[in-house]
Chains A and B, each alone.
Chain A
Amino acid sequence: MATEPATIIEARAVVKSFGQTPALRGASIDVRPGEIVAVMGPSGSGKSTLLHCLAGILVPDEGEVWFAGQRLDTLRETQRSELRRDRFGFVFQSGQLVPELTAEENVALPLLLGGTRRAAALREARAWFDRLGLGGLGNRRSGELSGGQAQRVALARGMVTGPQVLFADEPTGSLDSVSGELVMSLMTRTAREQSTTVILVTHDARVAAYADREVIVRDGTVSSLTGAVPSSGTAQ
């Protein structure tokens, strides 16, 4: 009988530099399936670099990244790209939507790229619009949406493939407080309903308060504020 793995995604002693600048100096984190983890830290601490390494967007210089029991960092770029398309979702601070496409088409895009037929992809996209309170906005282009609406569309796009992990990097950074709250509430609610693991990079404590726990990135390493091991605490 298959048992649920203790960890869905983890970094082990990851080192990553950009030229002479070390961004990560032995960063480790492990995340349990369905957890919502906030990755906090001052600007320049390496938290976005950690997210990019966990998502397979960047390959570490040293260390390992594991996803669902397999090494992620040693995969070829085409394999990592497929993984990002099919099993991960992303919400960034802004600028994600393709301006030439309608909001609905933007949400359907990951499904279309994965081979889903257009009618089914749009149907799924529309279901997400209803779920996130975006009814009636499907035909608008990104320039015709408010910041909060655009981020909800980005969230729908991030979730439409039913990803195992949603990566969010300052998802409310460009929003006013009320819109930001709505996006975070919807993100965490839908993630919990779908049992999606969420890795949320933020410097904002009120955003981090939507997560189950926080870790802090300082000087390129990860720690927990209480001095405990910054893992989900499950036995190896």
Chain B
Amino acid sequence: MSVPLTLLGLLEREPSHGYDLKRDYDTWFGRDKPLPYGQVYATLSRLARDGKAIAGPTEPGEGPDRRRYAITEAGTSDVERWLSEPTPPEPHLQTVLFAKVVLTLMLGRPPDRYLDTQRAAHLQRMRELTALKERGDLMDTLLADHGLYHLEADLRWIDHTAARLDMLAQAVRQ
């Protein structure tokens, strides 16, 4: 799960204070695992240091959350690249797939192309694992099957999500 890229994606939607970013992240992506404040601020500092985000002026008030962060052009390019490229297909990437679909919708981009690109990458990986089964021994087959079943589950999720895009788009824009 790429926390920096996900936070950048949320910043691209609108400049935010760390508190608001954490709240949005937790709402959409952190249901089982809310993001600690410390991690939010550390990530924002690093993004600012690397030129992907820029911290606004210190605002009056108490506590650490007194700067509003905005995304830079470099940050926008990073998000664009991340959202248009497929994630290397392997088991347990459900959270990343989900984050990409939600952010794509939030930022008003068409998700269909991304979903198709991801489907193609998954099918290519499934072809490789199937070829491995054809030439490997029983252990290779068992391991390959584990990967194949997970990839198939991802593809089913992608199909199901594709069927719900309109509903999801509405929910995300509220």
Contacts and interface: CB of A to CB of B under 8 A. Distances in A.
A225 interface: yes
Interface in A184-218: 185, 189, 205-206, 208-212, 214
A78 interface: no
B126 A185 contact: no
B152 A227 contact: no
A41 to B, nearest CB: 11
Interface in B5-39: none
A214 B123 contact: yes
Contacts of B159: 42
A208 B122 CA distance: 11
Nearest to B159: A42
Contact of B126 (A189, A209, A224, A226): A209
B127 A226 contact: no
Which interface class (under 10, 10 to 19, 20 to 34, 35 or more) fits A? 10 to 19
Contacts of A209: 123, 126-127, 129-130, 148
A205 B116 contact: no
Contacts of B117: 225-226
B155 interface: yes
Which interface class (under 10, 10 to 19, 20 to 34, 35 or more) fits B? 10 to 19
B120 A205 contact: no
Given A208-B123, A209-B126, A209-B127, A226 B116 contact: yes
Contact of B119 (A185, A189, A211, A225): A225
Nearest to A203: B159
A106 to B, nearest CB: 27
A132 to B, nearest CB: 16
A187 to B, nearest CB: 12
Interface in B101-123: 113, 116-117, 119-120, 122-123
B126 A205 contact: yes
B62 interface: no
B151 interface: yes
A205 B130 contact: no
Interface in B148-174: 148, 151-152, 155, 159
B123 A225 contact: yes
Nearest to A226: B120
Nearest to B162: A42
B134 interface: yes
Contacts of A224: 120
Nearest to A212: B127
Interface in A158-191: 185, 189
Contacts of B119: 225
Contacts of A206: 126, 130, 148, 152
B113 A205 contact: no
A208 B127 CA distance: 8
B130 A225 contact: no
Given A205-B123, A206-B152, A227 B113 contact: yes
B123 A210 contact: no
Q: What 5 pairs between A and B have smallest CB-CB spacing?
A: A225-B120, A209-B126, A209-B130, A225-B116, A226-B120
Interface of A: 42, 185, 189, 205-206, 208-212, 214, 224-227
12 contacts: A189-B134, A205-B122, A205-B126, A205-B152, A206-B148, A206-B152, A209-B126, A209-B130, A225-B119, A226-B116, A226-B120, A227-B116
